[in-house]
Amino acid sequence: MAAGGIQSATDKELVTLCSKFLNGGRDTTETVIEWGMAELIANKEVQRKIVEEIKETVGERKVEVYIK
């Protein structure tokens, strides 16, 4: 027990907390991407603007895709 009667967290409790923080961040990111994609699917004008911006930035050259 630490000074003042406050108990320190065990290693197992710290690992559990870190896991919860990481998973919470992942869940948040996943949800934002999911909603963003849903909005893109529903909005053809935004899709067109994104394609134009990509073409202006990348050009017409092919971009390598690394999918296994």
Rg (CA), the chain: 22
Place of tokens 């134009």: 52
Q: Give pLDDT, residue 14.
A: 92
Q: Return the number of other C-beta atoms located less than 10 Å from residue 11's C-beta.
A: 7
Does the structure show a pLDDT above 90 at 25?
A: no
Per-domain residue ranges for the chain? 3-58
Higher-confidence residue: 58 or 3? 58
Q: Is 21 helix (H, G, I), strand (E, B) or coil?
A: helix
Place of tokens 């934002």: 32
| Phi-psi sector, 43: left (phi>0), alpha (psi -120 to 50), beta | beta
The type of residue at 15 is V
